[in-house]
Structure 1
């Protein structure tokens, strides 16, 4: 596969041909880097204090606990009056409810496990879909993608829930890059990124990632793609990673969020403290945390027209993507890089070090 707009090619070769291919490619002055394609996975950590088992060369969807809510259960447990401040605390924390902006006229891409295209809250916001998983439709059999789409652009007045989306009038481009089992590849993710850029996305939200080891460099392929995307008008937002077990262990920001040209988002709890699982900036260049967003007990849409609560940096990243979408509406002539600068400069300072929360808690304009 060749992605001309991104300057990347994915080549399928036999194991005994890899060395020769790399040697030939590295001798070509126009080729910046060659890297092996990685198999990618989405995983759910079902225990909130699951111990770290090591570093794995995989992509993970980064959510922690998952709680499903049917409409009937919500009506029974909450009655006619919603406790919005508790249920959708993330929107209150980033002041989205007080913003007059809606994301209208802005395209934002969500690259994930797809979306429930029949969810009554999301049918109007989803503008285009594409699946890059062989043999699979864009329908979300996992739940992670639908949740992220809802956080980015759920409507201002859902039919059966309080508001949970940041930019309710944005046009969402949904790219399925991970299967219903949460498995994919670099090639699928890159294909989704190329499609999003070609569709005119101003923001690309990627709640996926792979753990890296201390001292490991950022992937040059994703960095080059991110730079090209910036030049073409798209800012990439990615989850920082879920591998920390604070306070005893802080893991480095995962890939591809550790690329200098990708906005890395950390997760905060309801007390605005750093979530115990949120990765930190311990790897130097490219391993920084740029911004922090709500990422614990986040309420959003789920397949089957229902809702669920999830925790993880995967939930923080869509909050950031939604706010960047609002900024793009407010500043239509701004470059993608400028949108990132505006996001960081408008953050609310926090007591934690920048290595944990970057510029602070993002705020809606």
Structure 2
């Protein structure tokens, strides 16, 4: 008996007098079920069902930064680097979903924001790790102690899905259910600074008595099934976007690369960033008058954003400075909120497709050295609308 995530597509409605019911797609039903292996054949025979191994997930662990977490006058460097400090837009009217470790709802950075919290982990709302609070602060946090930390300070409503428990762990079922929830709640943007834990799945299988070789092989099967599930969900979100609300999904590329090692290496963007239709984000830091790719940042991202020495909100009411692609991802989510409002201001319907296109088209390459490869920064530094 193993745990699986089951996605059941809704049956098509019978057309009414005008046949309009067909134009309103329904979200899929997503459940987590414990099934024997023989039950999988029955699932495979049903064209309206997709399934995946319920795989462990974890936050993309940030790196401690030597920079002090003290309030400074003006905007944090990441806010200025993406041009948010010069943008006339604030993200007003845009709903952002943050799927992470929860949030410190009492933090002054979130004063005036309607926070809709939902716990998918069983550990209760709130943020013990601080990771979700930090990411949310970068997206829409208000100023703290005179320092600007948030990109889109006009966001008035945020969906806070706790998909990683108090130990920073979760599973793919929690993420898939939260994505469905975000769609139902009409989120415009979904931000995910987390990863699917392939080593954790191998470890779980070996703890059950598997030898390392078959455990690794089985973990690859599980990883592949989760990639297919994500691709299926993203395709369904795209279908919803053609007729109604569908969120733009942004995810951190991952921190597994080691460019500064004795034998340097780079690893490609991991799940969920690697799924089709997700905007994968690489991390960059300051380098004199230009920017450099962070040594830990995974490659094959769509765009890059500030992710080194990022100061943002932290549980307890203060600020904290850390680094990671987890910190770069919310910069892109915040800029996406600005673009969403900017398009609406021009009379263009904001959508995952239209905002995603602007994010890619407006990214800047000229702020990097000429020898920085595209595989490391994608289209370049994400840029707010002027």
Name the TM-score, length of structure 1 as normaliser: 0.82
User: Which position in structure 1 is the counterpart of 2:38?
Assistant: 20
1:93 aligns with 2:93: no
Measured against aligned partners, the alpha-carbon deviations of 1:200-220 in whole angstroms (never above 9, x if no partner) come to 11100000013669x986701
Select which of 116, 121, 126 maps to 2:109.
121
User: Which position in structure 2 is the counterpart of 1:102?
Assistant: 90
Question: What is the distance in 2 between the residues matched to 1:273 and 1:69?
Answer: 21
Please say if residues 55 and 196 of structure 2, whose CA atoms lie closer than 8 Å, have aligned partners that are also in contact: no
User: Which position in structure 2 is the counterpart of 1:362?
Assistant: 382
Question: What is the distance in 1 between the residues matched to 2:306 and 2:144?
Answer: 23
Question: What is the distance in 2 between the residues matched to 1:276 and 1:211?
Answer: 21
Distance 1:210 1:40, change over 3 A: closer
Alignment of 1:84-233 (within 5 A): 84=74, 88-134=76-122, 136-155=123-142, 158-170=143-155, 171-210=157-196, 219-230=227-238, 231=241, 232-233=245-246
Measured against aligned partners, the alpha-carbon deviations of 1:294-315 in whole angstroms (never above 9, x if no partner) come to 0000000000001100100000
User: Which position in structure 1 is the counterpart of 2:203?
Assistant: none
Task: Please state how far the C-alpha of 1:196 moved relative to its aligned partner.
Answer: 1.4
Please say if residues 152 and 338 of structure 2, whose CA atoms lie closer than 8 Å, have aligned partners that are also in contact: yes
Distance 1:132 1:69, change over 3 A: farther
Task: Please state how far the C-alpha of 1:29 moved relative to its aligned partner.
Answer: 2.7
Please say if residues 250 and 279 of structure 2, whose CA atoms lie closer than 8 Å, have aligned partners that are also in contact: yes
Task: Please state how far the C-alpha of 1:67 moved relative to its aligned partner.
Answer: 6.8
Distance 1:143 1:104, change over 3 A: same
Gaps of 5+ in 1: 43-60, 282-288
Question: What is the distance in 2 between the residues matched to 1:306 and 1:319?
Answer: 19
User: How big is the alpha-carbon RMSD for the aligned residues of Structure 1 and Structure 2?
Assistant: 2.3
User: Which position in structure 1 is the counterpart of 2:255?
Assistant: 242
Q: Kindly tell me the number of residue pairs found equivalent between the two proteins.
A: 321
User: Which position in structure 2 is the counterpart of 1:291?
Assistant: 303
Task: Please state how far the C-alpha of 1:66 moved relative to its aligned partner.
Answer: 5.5
Question: What is the distance in 1 between the residues matched to 2:30 and 2:186?
Answer: 21
Q: Which has the larger radius of gyration?
A: 2
1:63 aligns with 2:62: yes
Name the TM-score, length of structure 2 as normaliser: 0.78
Please say if residues 364 and 380 of structure 2, whose CA atoms lie closer than 8 Å, have aligned partners that are also in contact: yes
Distance 1:94 1:131, change over 3 A: same
SS of the aligned residue for 1:13 comes to: strand
Please say if residues 84 and 384 of structure 2, whose CA atoms lie closer than 8 Å, have aligned partners that are also in contact: yes
Task: Please state how far the C-alpha of 1:191 moved relative to its aligned partner.
Answer: 1.8
Please say if residues 99 and 175 of structure 2, whose CA atoms lie closer than 8 Å, have aligned partners that are also in contact: yes
SS of the aligned residue for 1:205 comes to: strand
Question: What is the distance in 2 between the residues matched to 1:302 and 1:161?
Answer: 16
Please say if residues 121 and 164 of structure 2, whose CA atoms lie closer than 8 Å, have aligned partners that are also in contact: yes
Measured against aligned partners, the alpha-carbon deviations of 1:27-60 in whole angstroms (never above 9, x if no partner) come to 22333x4321112223xxxxxxxxxxxxxxxxxx
Q: Which has the higher strand share?
A: 2
Question: What is the distance in 2 between the residues matched to 1:345 and 1:211?
Answer: 32
Measured against aligned partners, the alpha-carbon deviations of 1:83-109 in whole angstroms (never above 9, x if no partner) come to 647xx1111110110001000011011
Task: Please state how far the C-alpha of 1:63 moved relative to its aligned partner.
Answer: 1.4
Question: What is the distance in 1 between the residues matched to 2:99 and 2:48?
Answer: 29
Gaps of 5+ in 2: 1-5, 11-25, 200-219
